[in-house]
Amino acid sequence: MLKHSLTKIASLKSIALAATLSLSGVAWGGTLPPVVDTFDKPENNSLGLPRQLITDSLAGGGSTAQHTIGVGVITVDGEITPARGQLGWVSLVLPLDVQGGSQNAQPYTGILLSVKLNKGVLSVTVNGSEIQNHDYHAAPVTVTNDGEFHQVKVPFESLKRAWSEQTPLNAGAINGISIVAYAMQPERFSFALDQVSFY
């Protein structure tokens, strides 16, 4: 059930990501810069693209979320309220491309997060522009729930698809990174980020 629900998350995130990207006017050629977001700007990431916070309301869930940005840190918190028989989720989407096209992260090994987990469970998803069924590559974010910031490395090779054939991530064809809080039952969540980058 969890794998099926994660697939729904990826599908809905893709719809929202496409809508977000259509509003932006920035494109990158060649290799992406290593820093994706330092949360120094209220609306756009460090690539000049608008970040987006979406919930499972697109799939009938009742999860709610709010975010604040201050002193280079984004804090996201709220309530996970899943639809019956489904996984509940809230996703912070950081787009990498103006129109959802391919961007090249091949020189890098993975994603580096500076994250503080106050409550709940997190995962990170790397959205590949070659994936047609929305079953993007994802991995849990393993971090101590102690209210402190931690540097967490998520290697590209650790990312897995939920229900499709296990193909390696093509780091040369990606278009977004999502940080997802999720739960099978109603519960509160809270996390903060002060940087998302490649390493």
Domain spans in the chain, listed from the N-terminal domain onward: 2-198
Asked if pLDDT for residue 199 goes beyond 50, the answer is: yes
**In the prediction, which pLDDT does 129 show?**
87
Asked if pLDDT for residue 126 goes beyond 50, the answer is: yes
DSSP, collapsed to helix, strand or coil, labels residue 145 as coil
pLDDT grade for 174, boundaries at 50, 70 and 90: very high
How many degrees, rounded to 5, is the angle at CA 138 between CA 163 and CA 96? 125
**In the prediction, which pLDDT does 30 show?**
64
DSSP, collapsed to helix, strand or coil, labels residue 71 as coil
**In the prediction, which pLDDT does 18 show?**
37
Asked if pLDDT for residue 3 goes beyond 70, the answer is: no
The 8 Å CB, 24+ separation contacts for 136-139 are 136/10, 136/13, 136/14, 136/161, 137/161, 137/169, 138/6, 138/10, 138/162, 138/180
79: which strand partners? 64, 188
CATH number of 2-198: 2.60.120.430
How crowded is residue 167: how many other Cβ atoms within 10 Å of its Cβ? 13
Q: What is the pTM of this model?
A: 0.83
Asked if pLDDT for residue 193 goes beyond 50, the answer is: yes
pLDDT in tens, 46-83: 999 999 999 999 889 999 999 999 999 999 999 999 99
**In the prediction, which pLDDT does 98 show?**
81
Specify the DSSP class assigned to residue 169.
Answer: P
Asked if pLDDT for residue 176 goes beyond 50, the answer is: yes
Asked if pLDDT for residue 13 goes beyond 50, the answer is: no
